[in-house]
Amino acid sequence: MTSPAIRARSQAGFEIRTLLSNGEQLLVSLLLPALALVGLAVTSTPHLGPGRRIDIVVPSVLALAVVSTAFTGQAIATGFDRRYGVLRLLGITPLGRGGLLAGKAIAVVVIVALQTLVLGILGACFGWHPDGPGLFVGLLLMLVGTWTWVALALFISGILRAEAVLAVANLLWILFAGAGGLLLPTHRFPEAAGAVVRLLPSGALGDGLRDAMTGHFDSLVEPVLVLLVWGAVLTVATAKTFRWDDR
């Protein structure tokens, strides 16, 4: 009999191929972050603070890419999978609900890894030099961020209709990218606004990655704690509210 791990891996492969063959998903996950990287790398506005600009731009764009895949992509995909009964059907195959969730988790991590590789190479073309240990810490932080944002995606897609998920996920992506601290460091915000944005998972992920990949480890505690608290709260909320079907 095929093992649960093999079935979860098979589901992950299916999800990855589905995501990579979806034009809208590629646009949000890769093309728009790449355009943001190039745009921010070749201009001098907005001012991103002290340090080499490209070393701030790349982690910022990586944060945006995590949100694109782990949140926007997963929320929309899960919302429509539920609408079409895909979650119901796969949940009663040998894969089961646990295997389905594991497959989705593996798929998201693989896509985030691919994004990181592509955007990292693109960043290197513009002279990105991440801090050595900071790069490793940043990758760990991306894993934590992926968990937090997937939890938010499943929370939203579990309580809203598919069409509403589509609208909300895209709207939040724009808001988080523009004003949520993903691309712009929170210390560049007005003081009160910055204090609020730092407590959002977007601000925490953006600031955390920028600090980690530039070697500023002493300021990492707050963003890591914020991500962990959001991740735990959203995971519990999702476990209580998630619906596997629309009936």
Partner 1 sequence: MSAPVPPVIVDGVTHHYGSKLALHDMSWQAPQGAITCILGPNGAGKTSIMEMAEGLRRPESGTVRVLGNDPWHADADHRRRVGVMLQDGGLPGSVKPLRLLHHLASLYDETGELSSLVDELGIEEFRHTSLRRLSGGQRQRVALAAALVGQPDVVFLDEPSAGLDPHARLDVWDLVRRTRDRGCCVVVTTHSFEEAERLADRVIIVAAGTVATAGSVTEVSGTASLEDTYFSLTRIPGKTMR
Site of interaction with partner 1 (CB under 8 A): 1-2, 4, 7, 10-11, 14, 17-18, 21-22, 80-81, 84-86, 88-96, 99, 245
Cβ at position 80, least distance to partner 1 in Å: 7
**Token pair of 213, please?**
């990949």
Cβ at position 209, least distance to partner 1 in Å: 31
DSSP H helices in 126-220? 132-159, 162-179, 191-197, 201-213
**Token pair of 30, please?**
């890769």
Instruction: Closer to partner 1 by CB, 2 or 241: give it.
Output: 2
Handedness of CA 61, 73, 231, 152 (dihedral sign): positive
Cβ at position 16, least distance to partner 1 in Å: 12
Spatial contact of 162 and 83, defined as CB atoms under 8 Å apart: yes
Instruction: Closer to partner 1 by CB, 91 or 120: give it.
Output: 91
Instruction: Closer to partner 1 by CB, 41 or 108: give it.
Output: 108
Cβ at position 119, least distance to partner 1 in Å: 25
Spatial contact of 226 and 85, defined as CB atoms under 8 Å apart: no
Cβ at position 65, least distance to partner 1 in Å: 21
| Look-up of token digits 């921010």 | 40
| Look-up of token digits 């932080």 | 141
Spatial contact of 7 and 90, defined as CB atoms under 8 Å apart: no
Instruction: Closer to partner 1 by CB, 21 or 45: give it.
Output: 21
Spatial contact of 53 and 44, defined as CB atoms under 8 Å apart: yes
Instruction: Closer to partner 1 by CB, 97 or 187: give it.
Output: 97
Cβ at position 172, least distance to partner 1 in Å: 22
Instruction: Closer to partner 1 by CB, 15 or 207: give it.
Output: 15
Spatial contact of 224 and 144, defined as CB atoms under 8 Å apart: yes
